[in-house]
Chains A and B, each alone.
Chain A
Amino acid sequence: MNTWVRIVRRREFTVFILIVILSIIFAVSTDRFLSISNISNLLSQLAGVAIAAIGMTMVIITGGIDVSVGSTLGLACVVSGSLLMIQAPFLLVLLATLGTGLAVGLLNGVIVAYGRVPPIITTLGMMNMVRALVFQALGGRWISGIPPEVRTIGLGKWLQIPLAMWVAGALIVVFSYFLSYRPLGRSVYAVGNNPEAARVSGVNLKTTLLFVYGLTGALAGFAGLINVGRTGIVQTNNGMGFELDVIAAVVLGGTSILGGRGTIVGSLLGALLVAIIKNGMILLNIPALTEGVIIGALIIISVLIDLVRGRGVR
């Protein structure tokens, strides 16, 4: 009985119920929502946000935030796009893309952990600097015409489900396990709950911070590779506003912005909810312009629901 009450009271459950209700509404009111091509399309758009949200969840659990993921994704798009154009081996493309993201992320981590600069400041500055770099690298031009045969990571499917979503799923399982059962994973929560207590009980604060920011950068880079694979185009504004989508997914999924609480599965559900709303609105011919009103209202409503139940956001 008690376990049931605990599950029902969680934010993940609220979001899950919302997903179910909306899916039923869309399935009844349109005939395309449940079609295989639509679901596969929805999932391939979801994958990038879901992957970056893994890292963002951890960053926010430590009490931080990373608004530079959109620019990191943009830079990774440039790197992977250029390499795919010259038909470089996939392993090289993958390593270069992850490496690019990791480098940006680690730089964030070093400034936050060793420089003690607040995360919002660090990543805000990084966002602008990396975006300038993206612009410089592209020189105002596009990279387009990347051949489909090297875009498997974005276009490929297995059992009708996009390859990128399989990867996202695997990463979510691995990192959920990691966060719950490995010492470094537990220290992510410890740092967010009480940094001083964590330090005294032997948690290495700096290592933990380097790890979460580095991971977030690498995963944002990977999301960039998927993006290039899916669209085949690299533009200067790739990933602009991506950081807000990822943060919205994590916040909707119940991760406390004050740190110390949250799950990766919650963030996946948050991302799925947003993706379903966007998709359903297109199918129902509701102008995409109203999307922001709905996502914004949902963020506030879901937090208010928690408040009314007396759980609080604090």
Chain B
Amino acid sequence: MRNIWDTVISNRVLFLSLLFVILFVFFSFTIPGFFNLYNLSNMTQYGVELGLLALAEALVILSGGGGIDLSVGSMMSLVSILMGVLIGRAGWSPVFAVPLGILAGMGMGLFNGILVSLGRILPLIVTLAGLYMYRSLALIIAVDPQFGPNPMPVSTFPESFYFVGQYRVGGIPFQVLFIFLPVLLIFHFLLSRTTWGRQLYGVGSNETAAVFSGINLKKVRLTVYTLSGILSALAAWVITSRIASARPDVGTGYELQAITIAVLGGISIQGGEGTVGGVLLAVAIITMINNGLQLAGIHQIWQLGALGAVLVGSVLLNQFLIQRRKI
């Protein structure tokens, strides 16, 4: 019995699965309106943006060398308002504006990546600077000279823009089926089945060994920061379409939630350890907690509080287990 318990808590994916099931059963019995098909399928859409950002964070943290991306929220804000301005104010078709927005996200990620890998500046510093710069640029873009000097959100979109965030296919939200799941599958495949994935884990767990075995450290790191930018831009597209509004501050605070979820999902903050599956489970758990608390009428600030407690608690438990294993 003790052995089974040990396996469950020392295997993150198993532990999270168990936690998920327990919470699911608990909410189903205690919160009215939780366990029905509509709520369950509806709930999934709220996890998409956070899930994409958490995945971005996971990739960056995996790459090691103090890898972290504090700028994901700001990149999301900038891409969101960029798409909004192009479509809503300049009258562009989403067919051109969305790819340009994704390209902008890629550009910002690439800029971070160049400074980290070629400039050899620490990720925390680069992305802190990125957080400031991209957020500020988002506010500047949002200014509509017609209405004075203050940044304004954009809410005038053509009907065709809403399919990503508001349509359903077979009862399941479009963005879950056609954006989130494919992205997850692609990254699961990349990380577990390709040379690039093995290189990423290698770079993250032992930089020196990776370099000596011929892995191009700079290229790997450059790629993950660029991917982080692209994923943030995807998240921006989804959220802008879902809430039908482009806001220059939409991503504020998301970076910390994304980091929390990545770490909760078993991505070691030292790099080189963790899986896409773990991150998916963490996103599912957090989305479910948010939904449950909301249905129970508890203010959303407590969702953040609970998130903090779960994060510290899960890592504490982990460290405790490592200590015990050593003895």
A residues in contact (CB < 8 Å) with B: 65, 67, 111, 115-118, 120-122, 124-129, 131-133, 135-136, 236, 244, 247-248, 251, 257-258, 287, 289-293, 295-297, 299-300, 303-304, 307, 312-314
Contact = CB atoms under 8 A, between A and B. Distances in A.
A126 B316 CA distance: 13
A303 B140 contact: no
Contact of B259 (A65, A124, A304): A124
Enumerate the 3 nearest inter-chain pairs by beta-carbon distance, A residue then B residue, closest first.
A292-B136, A132-B305, A128-B308
A299 B256 contact: no
B33 interface: no
Given A124-B256, A128-B307, A251-B125, A115 B316 contact: yes
* Chain A interface main SS type: helix
Given A127-B308, A244-B131, A300 B302 contact: no
10 contacts: A118-B315, A125-B311, A128-B307, A135-B301, A293-B136, A296-B133, A296-B136, A303-B125, A313-B120, A314-B120
B172 to A, nearest CB: 30
Contact of B133 (A67, A122, A251, A297): A297
Contact of B312 (A111, A136, A307, A313): A111
Contacts of B263: 121
Contacts of B120: 307, 312-314
B299 A135 contact: yes
B124 interface: yes
Interface of B: 66, 68, 115, 119-122, 124-126, 128-133, 135-137, 139-140, 143, 149, 151, 256, 259-260, 263, 269-270, 299, 301-302, 304-309, 311-312, 315-316, 319-320, 323
A135 B300 CA distance: 10
Contact of A300 (B115, B136, B316): B115
Contact of A132 (B68, B259, B302, B315): B302
Contacts of B137: 292-293
Nearest to A107: B312
Contacts of A299: 125, 128-129, 132
Contact of A121 (B121, B135, B315): B315
A135 B136 CA distance: 27
Given A303-B121, A307-B121, A289 B136 contact: yes
Contacts of B269: 118, 120-121
Contacts of A118: 269-270, 315
B136 A125 contact: no
A247 B128 CA distance: 9
A141 B182 CA distance: 44
Contact of B131 (A121, A126, A296, A304): A296
Nearest to A126: B308
A134 B304 CA distance: 12
A289 B316 contact: no
Contacts of A65: 124
A254 B198 CA distance: 36
Contacts of A257: 66, 122, 124-125
A152 to B, nearest CB: 32
Contacts of B124: 65, 257
B129 A296 contact: yes
A310 to B, nearest CB: 12
* Chain B interface main SS type: helix
Contacts of B115: 300
B133 A293 contact: yes
Given A121-B312, A125-B311, A244-B131, A132 B304 contact: yes
A115 B319 contact: yes
Nearest to A300: B129
Contacts of B140: 287, 289-290, 293
B54 to A, nearest CB: 13
B275 to A, nearest CB: 18
B58 to A, nearest CB: 14
A292 B132 contact: yes
Given A111-B316, A120-B269, A290 B308 contact: no
A120 B308 CA distance: 12
A205 to B, nearest CB: 15
Contacts of A247: 128
Given A129-B309, A291-B136, 7 more contacts: A116-B319, A128-B307, A132-B305, A287-B149, A289-B151, A292-B139, A296-B133
B307 to A, nearest CB: 6
Contacts of B119: 304, 307
Given A115-B319, A124-B260, A290 B136 contact: yes
A69 B124 CA distance: 17
Nearest to A295: B132
A207 to B, nearest CB: 20
Give the residue among A118, A126, A129, A258 with the most B Cβ atoms within 10 A. Answer: A129
A287 B305 CA distance: 35
Given A132-B305, A287-B149, A300-B121, A248 B128 contact: yes
Contacts of B316: 111, 115, 117
A293 B71 CA distance: 13
A47 to B, nearest CB: 22
Given A300-B121, A303-B125, A313-B121, A248 B132 contact: yes
A295 B255 CA distance: 19
A300 B260 CA distance: 26
Given A120-B269, A289-B136, A290-B136, A127 B129 contact: no
B259 to A, nearest CB: 6
Nearest to B120: A307
A314 to B, nearest CB: 8
A287 B151 CA distance: 11
A289 B305 contact: no
A295 to B, nearest CB: 5
Nearest to B136: A292
